Amino acid sequence: AQCAQESIYNLLPRLEEKPVKPPRYISTFRPSVKREVEKNKARWKTMGPAKVAVPSPKNFLQKHSKEPKLPARKKEQDSKKLPALSVPRRTDHPVMGIQSKKNFINTNAVAAITGLPKKPQPIYVDRRQGDKYLLETSGLVPKYIKKKDYGVTPKYVTQRNEEMKRAQKEYEAGILEHLKKRAMKQLSDEERRSLLQGLKKNWEEVYREFQGLSVEIDTIPKKIYKEKLESQMKQLEHDIEVIEKHKVIYIANE
């Protein structure tokens, strides 16, 4: 390490080289930015507008000022006359000086003598020391069963029953008409013969396709096709047997 430090070049004085800094970058938009900042500087000093109108002390909040007001009355309503009041007005004066010559004592005595005596209301008592109650409102008097219309079916019930019966009849008539339209139709001998020939022809075509299959069924599509032909032949054989067995055949009239 000492040998490495001892060198002839270390005896020469060295000049310290200062790094030269590049010139500072200045944007070309600097003056325009400064002008915009100075121009808009005063607007950001407050929250909201710079000058706010001071409210007048005369425009204070008054009582019931924020309640909804009724619309103004129309002229037609104002022109209508008020209805006549049965209660006397405040400005009306009673008629004075009218005297009656009726003898109320004799009138009351005659009414008491000739009048029918009042019948006492029927009451009931629930116990010996109990209170008295009216018998009519107790529910013990059979006054409802003695009414003229007691037990009579109300008109709305009879009307509803008639409407239900009418609707049921219309529904049954519609079903009968539908069944008549779809009634069974008997096949004639000629139609039965042509149907049998068509089934046999279809069976021959399916059998011809079945005969044309390869002897070795080594793939799944061949196997599926063979099973499909066999099911079609079985169905056609069953239909031919049914038609040959039954001489009379009915079908739905669609």
Q: How far is CA 127 from the centre of its chain?
A: 58
Q: What is the pTM of this model?
A: 0.32
| % the chain with pLDDT above 90 | 21
- With tokens 């529904």, the residue in question is 171
Angstrom distance (rounded) from CA 1 to CA 227: 100
Question: What amino acid is encoded at 90 in this protein?
Answer: R
The residue with greater pLDDT, 202 or 149, is 202
Angstrom distance (rounded) from CA 203 to CA 193: 15
The residue with greater pLDDT, 97 or 6, is 97
Structure tokens at 11: 């005896």
Lowest-confidence range among 155-159, 213-217, 242-246? 213-217
Q: So what's the pLDDT on residue 80?
A: 61
Q: From the CA atom positions of the chain, what is the Rg in Å?
A: 60
